[in-house]
Amino acid sequence: MSDCKTLGIGLAGFGTVGSGVWNTIEKNGELISERTGKDVSLGITKILVRDRNKTRATKSAVPKEILTTDWHELVQDPSVDIVVELIGGTTDAFEIVAASLLAKKPVVTGNKALLAERGVELFAISRKMATPIFFEAAIAGGIPIVKTVQDSFVGNQIHSFTGIINGTSNYILEQMTLRGIDYPTALQEAQDLGYAEADPALDVNGWDAAHKAILLATLAYGFPIDPQNIYVTGIEQVRPADINFSKSLGYVIKLLAIVRERECGAVELRVQPSFISNKHILAAVNGVFNAVAVNADAAGESLFYGAGAGQGPTASSVVADLVEAARAFTHTSRHRGFLPYRESGTLVPIEETTTAYYVRLDVTDQIGVVASIANVLAKHEIGISGTHSPVDSTNPDAEFVDMVFLLHTCPFGQLTKALQEIEALDCINSAPVVFRIENLG
């Protein structure tokens, strides 16, 4: 810390969120200083950019002399006390965060992929160097769920999280539901509006939500989780027919992240499109908003709702972590990073998770199709609660049709084995599409 007690911030990345952090500190710097402690203020002293000559979308001019294209220069700059990593990815970002921790400079990051995939390494460095990592912005944008779990729920055993934690997928599903448009059209509109990236893969394939769910689970249950060990599917296969069928049954389709501790202590963690009752509170979470429902033993049921992304909400979380990092300089008792309290834990194998299911099959329209499929399901002791074959009004004479089966609750592994046999039938033309039917209470 300098003699004037101003903590210098090094911003690694100056895109949407980085410029939002600059704007927030410029606008509310005095207020932030008062809330941090009157003897401490925050100032941005170095910014890592790709192009020093690019015009910046900030409300006040950024001095060119504080810009650099070399991250080593940012980390090594003696005026930088705290490093904020906002470049994304898991390669250069890892190098920046690791180097910062080794230099005993606290890190603030919103990089959920980095922490989910390489957090074990970074948190080990954090512990070794007694230097914290703060990551409120990594989960659900402006919703303060990380501090809530770390602080407000510190005396609770958390039974579960159920979350809608990807705004892009939520927006796409909402538009398909409200307007009857198909997935490609809804995705293109999301991109046109800036809700989806040019490459939307992580949003729509479920992995953005999965990275956040991994962090929530690690916070709550105290052991590192390998992303390769969790089950993730996205919304790419959702069709208007699925949306319409869910509505007729009183459901909506949402991309859900489920984190749940079993009685044996093992943790169930999965992300997939799911049918949920249209009367459940999460059914009303629309647009690009996020929500996380938490069930804890002492606090009971809680719901956290808000903007899950965007410049303002994410910058708000980053600045909150900056204040926390600043306080750690002057109040060592407040120092904390991510400190797992269990070396290992157990994930519930996806095959052992149980729900009811909606299964859509592309079948050849011929006599005996339903009976053939039903025989396989019966062989595997899976009950059928309903069947349906929606008529394509544009092509009533189609040779191939969709056949929908609603199945009773059973282990997912049991269903998988049955569907492997069903897919091998001559009347089946493509891989079955499976959505879970969640009973959220």
pLDDT digits over 203-258, tens only? 999 999 999 999 999 999 988 899 999 999 999 999 999 999 999 999 999 999 99
Question: Same domain for 95 and 199?
Answer: no
Q: In angstroms, rounded to a whole number, what is the distance separating the alpha carbons of residues 425 and 116?
A: 40
pLDDT(339) > 60 = no
Helix (H) or strand (E) holding 413, with range, is helix 412-423
Question: Same domain for 166 and 57?
Answer: no
Torsion of CA 274, 152, 220, 299, to 10 degrees: -60
pLDDT-derived band at 58 (thresholds 50, 70, 90) equals: confident
pLDDT of residue 2: 43
Burial tier of 250 (Cβ tally within 10 Å: 0-12, 13-18, 19+): exposed
Name which of 271, 246, 229 is nearest 173 in CA terms: 246
Place of tokens 């912005």: 137
Quote the tokens at residue 418: 């049955």
pLDDT-derived band at 333 (thresholds 50, 70, 90) equals: very low
Using alpha carbons only, give the angle 115, 104, 68 rounded to the nearest 5 degrees.
80
Considering its fold, how many domains does the chain have in total? 3
Grouping H, G, I as helix, E, B as strand and the rest as coil, residue 103 is: coil
Question: Same domain for 103 and 221?
Answer: no
The single residue of 46, 105, 112, 212 carrying the catalytic annotation is 212
Question: Same domain for 162 and 32?
Answer: no
Helix (H) or strand (E) holding 407, with range, is strand 400-411
- CATH at residue 83: 3.40.50.720
pLDDT-derived band at 341 (thresholds 50, 70, 90) equals: low
Quick: pLDDT tens for 369-409: 999 999 999 999 999 999 987 655 455 555 557 899 999 99
Three-state DSSP string of 253-306: EEEEEEEEECCCCCEEEEEEEEEEECCCHHHHCCCCEEEEEEEECCCEEEEEEE
Question: Same domain for 108 and 20?
Answer: yes
- CATH at residue 383: 3.30.70.260
In a domain, 103, yes or no: yes
- CATH at residue 242: 3.30.360.10
Q: What separation in angstroms does the CA of 314 have from each of 55, 143, 285, 407?
A: 22, 9, 19, 40
In a domain, 281, yes or no: yes
pLDDT(353) > 60 = yes
In a domain, 344, yes or no: no
Q: Are 203 and 173 spatial neighbours (Cβ–Cβ below 8 Å)? A: no
For residue 27, indicate whether it is catalytic: no
Q: What is the mean pLDDT of residues 39-60?
A: 85
Q: What is the mean pLDDT of residues 12-36?
A: 89
Q: In angstroms, rounded to a whole number, what is the distance separating the alpha carbons of residues 349 and 372?
A: 29
Please give the DSSP secondary-structure letter assigned to residue 148.
Answer: I
Q: In which domain, by residue range, is 392 found?
A: 350-437
